[in-house]
Amino acid sequence: MGALIVLTGPSGVGKGTLLRSLIQRHSELYLSISVTTRSPRPGEVDGKNYYFVSRSAFERMVANGELLEWAEFAGNLYGTPRQAVEEHIRDGRRIILEIELQGARQIRKNFPDALQIFILPPSLLELEYRIRSRAQDSEEAITRRLQRARTEIAAADEFDICIVNDDFAKALDRIETTLFAAAAC
Ligand SMILES: Nc1nc2c(ncn2[C@@H]2O[C@H](COP(=O)(O)OP(=O)(O)O)[C@@H](O)[C@H]2O)c(=O)[nH]1
Ligand SMILES: Nc1ncnc2c1ncn2[C@@H]1O[C@H](COP(=O)(O)OP(=O)(O)O)[C@@H](O)[C@H]1O
């Protein structure tokens, strides 16, 4: 049972909302804070939701080997800072990476023991409804996310476990069961 947990799924499927609830219930779980070149959305806080950096600062981090994995998604760069993850693993704590497909593949290659979970929407129509009702992305960003969603969903069977986020409470329950039942083995 790896200390590293990867959670992937198309934009708007509910990953962030599920993880916020999970962390509230299990304060022993740590959520990795990614670095991104995306602009903050209203209400997002630097150092809490993401570390918001310029493209040149991001590229420096890549060159210095500071990122465990990174990828371009819908025109922006996203990456996982290496240090926090390594410290948590060394201290025996479980850490969750909420990352897209290309990053999940890099982690799978380098950390084959990581537990990989994929979150699916009930349908593409419902996914589009959720992205739109979140009302935080431009029309262009929504289109790019929906295009990418098809590729990501097609890769779901690469993951250890797939969970459909239809009924929120049930999906959260399945994540908890997956994390804590597996840990007990
Ligand atoms: N590879 C990688 N993907 C990330 C990282 N952080 C976030 N992402 C993914 O980037 C995508 C876009 O994230 P974001 O702009 O916050 O949009 P949202 O998922 O629609 O809320 C999502 O699939 C995230 O899971 C990271 O550190 N590495
Ligand atoms: N099970 C669900 N049923 C209906 N709406 C949901 C469900 N889970 C999440 N949402 C809503 O969908 C939208 C996108 O969720 P979010 O957590 O931002 O997705 P992601 O982090 O995967 O991009 C939010 O408005 C959220 O409240």
Can you tell me whether residue 148 is helix, strand or coil?
helix
Query: Annotation-wise, does 16 bind a ligand?
Result: yes
- The number of the ligand 2 atom at minimal distance from the alpha carbon of 171 is 1
Q: Is the dihedral of CA 38, 43, 44, 46 positive or negative?
A: positive
Q: What is the mean pLDDT of residues 97-105?
A: 98
Q: Which residues line ligand 2 (CB under 6 A)?
A: 9, 11-17, 130, 133-134, 165, 168, 171
> What are the structural domain ranges in the chain?
4-184
Gap between the Cα atoms of 115 and 89, Å rounded: 14
* Residue from 98, 130, 131, 133 to probe ligand 2 pocket by mutation (most atoms less than 8 Å from CB): 130
Residue nearest to atom 16 of ligand 2 (CA): 14
Gap between the Cα atoms of 16 and 98, Å rounded: 8
One-letter amino acid for residue 78 of the chain: Y
4-184, what's its fold?
A: Rossmann fold (3.40.50)
- In the numeric block, which tokens belong to residue 113? 């023991």
114-144 confidence digits (pLDDT tens): 999 999 999 999 999 999 998 888 899 899 9
| 121 or 185, higher pLDDT | 121
End-to-end Cα spacing for the chain? 8
CB-based burial of residue 83 (10 Å sphere; 0-12 exposed, 13-18 middle, 19+ buried)? exposed
ipTM of the complex: 0.98
- In the numeric block, which tokens belong to residue 138? 């431009």
pLDDT number for residue 14: 97
pLDDT number for residue 135: 81
Gap between the Cα atoms of 135 and 151, Å rounded: 23
Query: Annotation-wise, does 103 bind a ligand?
Result: no
